[in-house]
């Protein structure tokens, strides 16, 4: 299927599902699925993977697949080959080896970007970004180009989604890390933010807070709980994200530079234990906090977001596909804008 490079994750969720090789307890090689407008076919690509997290497509048709326990694989003709040369990865709970993307100019420079949970010697971790190049079955020229400013525990809410903007800058999400949600409102902390970096990890000169001594320069937006879906519209450069709420409150946001998206002082979700209002929440909406575009009901548990750009799916073109973890579904979102207001329709 022909898919725009910047939206190459369009069927990552479906591909990872295919790699798991079972549906409803039955092994399968291919499965036909019907949707409102298009039929699709899932074909088993590879098996034997443990918690596959992300897929990147190389120009020659091979696929790079991360396994959360800390393995990077090359998939070719159904066969998987382990890639050596990765750094020490702390793979526990939600942490491990996570995102993989390739540079927009991969054919010229060969850069592959990976996010993972980096340990210190005190049992804590930090969301970290590296890049390297493939040399046979080894990752070489490995560089650590970004690490969040604070190690912490427990092993939750790493974010770690990556997406390229049209100007060649790289977006990277970092979750609130779970234990201390108000970190997402602290502009001196990378937790709970969406970052914007140059391809070498340096700070773009036009980032929204770059001249503010009280704010970390990498921050592009903040007040995020845990962004697990991230895509950039290749025509408009608009940034769409899906992120986890607590119990309920999974949201779709249109991200603007410098904006506050509210977590945890504004949330649509409830406390896990009590099923009452989240302890830090002050309101469901608030002046100065950018309101979500769409709330997923029932809960989605976001896992990847993509935009359909292929002519192979004309009735879906321009729509968003939002993957779900616990929900085990892909939801198609039809977003319509009128005079600056957005309306969203969905299809399972």
Q: What is the mean pLDDT of the chain?
A: 89
Give catalytic residues, as residue numbers: 157
Pairwise CA distance, residues 88 & 79, whole Å: 25
Instruction: Please compute the mean of the pLDDT values over residues 225-230 and round it to a whole number.
Output: 97
Q: 146-173 pLDDT, tens per residue? A: 999 999 999 999 999 999 999 999 999 9
Terminal-residue alpha carbon distance, the chain: 21
Q: What is the pLDDT of residue 21?
A: 44
Residues 261-265 have a mean pLDDT of: 95
Q: How far apart are the C-alpha atoms of 293 and 205, rounded to whole Å?
A: 29
Which of left, alpha, beta for 108 (phi over 0: left; psi -120 to 50: alpha)? alpha
pLDDT bin (cut points 50, 70, 90) of residue 47 is: confident
Lowest-confidence region among 22-26, 33-37, 157-161: 22-26
User: Averaged over 256-269, what is the pLDDT?
Assistant: 93
Would you say residue 18 has pLDDT above 50?
Answer: no
Better pLDDT: 273 or 206: 206
> Does 50 or 25 have the greater pLDDT score?
50
What is the per-residue pLDDT for 27? 60
Distance CA 269, CA 279 (A): 11
Q: How large is the average pLDDT for residues 263-277? A: 80
Domains of the chain: residue spans and CATH: 5-347 (2.120.10.30)
- Taking only the tens place, the pLDDT of each residue in 74-129 is 999 989 999 999 999 999 999 999 999 999 999 999 999 999 999 999 999 999 99
Q: Is the pLDDT of residue 22 over 70?
A: no
Q: Are 95 and 117 in contact (CB under 8 A)?
A: yes
User: Using CB atoms within 10 A of its CB, is residue 337 exposed (0-12), middle (13-18) or buried (19+)?
Assistant: exposed
pLDDT in tens, 288-341: 999 999 999 888 999 999 999 989 899 999 999 999 988 888 899 999 988 888
Return the pLDDT at 286: 85
Q: Alpha-carbon dihedral of residues 299, 305, 310, 312, nearest 10 degrees?
A: -30
Q: Give 201-221 pLDDT, tens digit per residue.
A: 999 999 999 999 999 999 999
Please give the average per-residue pLDDT across 181-191, as a whole number. 97
Strands 302-307 and 294-295: unpaired
What pLDDT score does 28 carry?
Answer: 57
236 against 12, higher pLDDT: 236
Q: What percent of the chain has pLDDT over 70?
A: 90
The pLDDT assigned to 16 comes to 52
Is the whole model's pTM more than 0.75, yes or no? yes
């Amino acid at each position: 299927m022909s898919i725009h490079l910047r939206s190459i994750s369009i069927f990552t969720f479906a591909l990872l599902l295919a790699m798991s090789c079972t549906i409803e307890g039955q092994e399968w090689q291919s499965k036909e699925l019907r949707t409102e407008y298009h039929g699709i076919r899932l074909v088993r690509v590879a098996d034997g993977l443990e918690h596959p997290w992300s897929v990147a497509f190389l120009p020659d048709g091979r696929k790079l697949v991360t396994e959360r326990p800390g393995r990077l694989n090359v998939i070719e003709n159904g066969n998987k080959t382990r890639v050596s040369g990765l750094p020490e990865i702390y793979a526990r709970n939600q942490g491990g080896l996570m995102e993989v993307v390739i540079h927009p100019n991969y054919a010229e420079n060969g850069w592959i970007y990976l996010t993972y949970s980096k340990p210190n010697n005190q049992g804590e971790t930090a969301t970290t970004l590296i890049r390297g190049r493939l040399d046979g079955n080894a990752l070489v020229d490995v560089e650590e180009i970004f690490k969040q400013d604070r190690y912490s525990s427990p092993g939750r809410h790493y974010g770690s989604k990556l997406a390229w903007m049209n100007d060649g800058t790289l977006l990277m999400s970092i979750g609130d890390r779970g234990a201390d949600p108000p970190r997402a409102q602290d502009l001196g902390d990378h937790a709970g933010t969406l970052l914007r970096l140059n391809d070498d990890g340096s700070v773009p000169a036009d980032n929204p807070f770059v001249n503010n001594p009280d704010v970390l320069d990498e921050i592009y937006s903040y007040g995020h709980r845990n962004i697990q879906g991230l895509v950039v519209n290749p025509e408009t450069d608009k940034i769409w994200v899906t992120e986890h709420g607590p119990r309920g409150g999974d949201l779709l946001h249109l991200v603007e530079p410098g904006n506050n998206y509210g977590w945890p002082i504004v949330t649509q979700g409830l406390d896990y234990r009590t099923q009452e209002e989240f302890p830090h929440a002050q309101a469901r909406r608030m002046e100065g906090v950018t309101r979500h575009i769409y709330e997923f009901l029932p809960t989605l548990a976001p896992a990847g977001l993509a935009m359909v750009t292929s002519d192979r799916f004309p009735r879906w073109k321009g729509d968003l596909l939002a993957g779900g973890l616990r929900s085990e579904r892909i939801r198609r979102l039809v977003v319509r804008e009128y005079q600056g207001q957005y309306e969203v329709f969905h299809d399972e």
